[in-house]
């Protein structure tokens, strides 16, 4: 199993003037999921990038949708809603990412990768609880 997946995305503008284009990347690594994004720079205004960190226990699901002529979409859902408030166009605990052409193969693998890492995180958490309960019973 690979140690890391990087998926690049570029969401189309949501405002009428076409200025709020969001670009960034979603990184799934050993420790969790990192979402880095920024609004595309304009001529007289530079935007800072924002980094959001999620552990695998905070991630609810990751789903890739590939339509024949439609955009390739990666839907990222979290259990909590507060962290995704900074992302433009975020719904309640859900972000829709338009995957760029070069990252499509990585996006196809992302759901399985995250599911595997979630199972590892939940097993580690369960082992920790069992060892604590054994200590308390002694």
CA proximity to 112, closest of 62, 75, 72: 62
Q: Is 132 left (phi over 0), alpha (psi -120 to 50) or beta?
A: alpha
First to last CA, the chain: 38
Q: Are strands 72-78 and 59-66 parallel, antiparallel or unpaired?
A: antiparallel
Give residue 127's pLDDT.
87
CA distance 20 to 11: 9
Share of the chain above pLDDT 70, in %: 96
Residues of the chain with pLDDT > 90: what percent?
43
Average pLDDT of the chain is 88
Give mean pLDDT, residues 23-46: 86
Q: Report residue 52's pLDDT band, with 50, 70 and 90 as the boundaries.
A: very high
Does the pLDDT of residue 46 top 80, yes or no? no
pLDDT, one tens digit per residue, over 67-125 is 888 889 999 999 988 888 888 888 888 999 999 999 999 999 998 999 999 898 889 88
Residue 138 has pLDDT above 70, yes or no: no
Residue 82 zone, left/alpha/beta (φ > 0; ψ -120 to 50; rest) = alpha
Q: Which domains does the chain have, with CATH numbers?
A: 5-137 (2.30.29)
């Amino acid at each position: 199993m690979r140690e890391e997946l990087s998926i690049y995305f570029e969401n189309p503008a949501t405002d009428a003037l076409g200025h709020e284009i969001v670009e960034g990347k979603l990184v799934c690594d050993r420790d969790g999921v990192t979402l880095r994004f920024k609004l595309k720079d304009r001529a007289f205004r530079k935007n800072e990038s924002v980094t959001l960190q999620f552990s695998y226990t905070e991630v609810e699901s990751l789903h890739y949708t590939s339509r024949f002529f439609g955009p390739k979409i990666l839907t990222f859902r979290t259990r909590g809603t507060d962290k995704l408030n900074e992302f433009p166009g975020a719904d309640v605990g859900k972000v829709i990412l338009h995957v760029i052409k070069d990252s499509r193969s990585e996006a196809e693998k992302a759901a399985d990768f995250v599911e595997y890492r979630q199972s590892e995180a939940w097993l580690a958490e369960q082992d920790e609880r069992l060892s604590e309960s054994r200590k308390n019973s002694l």
